[in-house]
Amino acid sequence: MHLLTQEAFQCYFNHLKPEGILVVHISNQFLDLRPVVTDIAAVLGKNALLVQTDPEEGANILRSAWILVTADLPFLETMQTQGHGEFLQPARRRSAQRPVWTDKYSNILSVLR
């Protein structure tokens, strides 16, 4: 969980160019990590685009999900226009039940499927 906090994301972006893209793998059959990543992206002034691959039964390839986090909105808009993803929106109102994950707070139970 310590890799999915606001402070961790800030550290990642400190090592990227301003238009850099952080790609977060969120495939998990037990946890829905979309709100965690989306909320952190919003707090940092970034946009989030969900990209999913389709499974291939014969090749034993399962569906995978990734979130692209970046300030480069034109790139994400191009991805979406080409049908490669969908924008994710953060929670409209921050509540005590779903605060942004930080080094001092995370709640794994809140993301159980």
Q: Residue 91: inside a domain, yes or no?
A: yes
- Res 97: pLDDT: 59
In a domain, 88, yes or no: yes
* Residue 35 within any structural domain of the chain: yes
CB 54 within 8 A of CB 2: no
pLDDT band of 57, cuts 50, 70, 90: confident
For residue 1, is it within any domain? no
Under a CB-based contact definition with an 8 Å cutoff, are residues 52 and 97 in contact?
A: no
pTM, two decimals, is 0.86
By three-state DSSP, how is residue 41 classified? helix
Residue-range definition of the domain harbouring residue 44: 6-111
Total domains present in the chain: 1
pLDDT given for residue 13 in this prediction: 97
Distance CA 16, CA 26 (A): 20
Q: End-to-end distance of the chain based on CA atoms, in angstroms?
A: 16
3-state secondary structure of 47: strand
pLDDT, tens digit (0-9, with 9 covering 90-100), for 1-42: 789 999 999 999 999 999 999 999 999 989 999 999 999 999
Is residue 48, in this structure, part of any structural domain at all? yes
State whether residue 80 is helix, strand or coil.
helix
Residues for the chain: how many in total?
113
- Do the domain assignments include residue 43? yes
